[in-house]
Amino acid sequence: MCEFCALGEESLCSTYGILGEHHPGGYREFMAIDASKAIPIPRDSRLTFEEAAAVPLTFMTAWRMLKTRARLQVGQDVLIIGIGGGVAVAALQIAKAIGARVFVTSSSNDKLEKARQLGADFLINHTETPDYHREIWKLTERRGVDVVVDSVGEATWARSLRSLRNSGRLVTCGATSGPNAETNVNLVFWKQLEILGSTMASRSELESVLQLVWDGQLKPVVDRILRLSSAKEAHEILERGDQFGKIVLTP
């Protein structure tokens, strides 16, 4: 057992890998896995199998980002860039459950409306308002937000850093628009910002967030359910960024 596993920090283990990313096996009808890796769906849960399938990855990732890494507290402000992706939608729900005020951006008014229905407090269309950091500045009375969730990367990074208040935290679990973002180092030290990376979560974090899902406080958002034979179509939807929540494939 390595030093990280000994601390219960499985996602920091050098042998940590994701099925379907580091190991083949995401797209098949049957597979054998270690029983300790399977999560039973409680009998009294009202979730369908497809809804339950949409839970672990997004909720555990968003939970670690907001709770453990960015230390989001009740009453704080959080900005979520690009609402629509599974992790962003889970982050919105978790931020509201924590008691934070949530700002979201999207290029789609339809997605912004869906985010509003999930509790988002402020909606910014970043096509109509490309300088969204200025809008954040106005909306927070020139304070900025405590936390930004930015997994878009290159395209938004500089504006995300500018949206932070002094001692704010930017947390990322991806870089969908590219990894080589520009960082104004003056901003980082003068405003005493923190840039936090996050990947997946530990088993105990997963169990904490699952409890809220089984209790019904957090609800998986399934964009649509497709057959495994339509995997190509599913990927095309993801590439266009048309989805709001998860796309689930069934055998």
- Enumerate binding residues for Zn ion (CB under 5 A): 2, 5, 13
CA pair distance 1, 17, nearest whole angstrom: 15
Show the CA angle centred on residue 24, arms to residues 14 and 3, nearest 5°: 15
12 vs 98 by CB, closer to Zn ion: 12
Backbone φ and ψ for 170, nearest 5 degrees, come out as -105, 125
User: Closest CB to Zn ion among 11 and 156?
Assistant: 11
CA distance 36 to 200: 17
Q: How far is the CB of 22 from Zn ion (least distance, A)?
A: 14
User: In the complex, what is the shortest distance from the CB of residue 2 to Zn ion, in angstroms, rounded to a whole number?
Assistant: 3
Nearest residue to Zn ion, scored by beta-carbon proximity: 13
Q: Cβ of residue 3: shortest distance to Zn ion, in angstroms?
A: 8
Q: In terms of CB distance, is 2 or 19 closer to Zn ion?
A: 2
Q: Work out the end-to-end distance of the chain between its first and last CA atoms, rounded to an integer number of angstroms.
A: 36
Closest separation in Å from C-beta 13 to Zn ion: 3
Amino acid 79 reads L
Token pair recorded at residue 171: 């947390």
Residue pointed to by tokens 């229905």: 117
Toward Zn ion, which CB reaches closer, 13 or 200? 13
CB of 11 or CB of 58, closer to Zn ion: 11
Q: With H, G, I as helix, E, B as strand and everything else as coil, classify residue 172.
A: strand
CB of 10 to Zn ion, least distance (A): 7
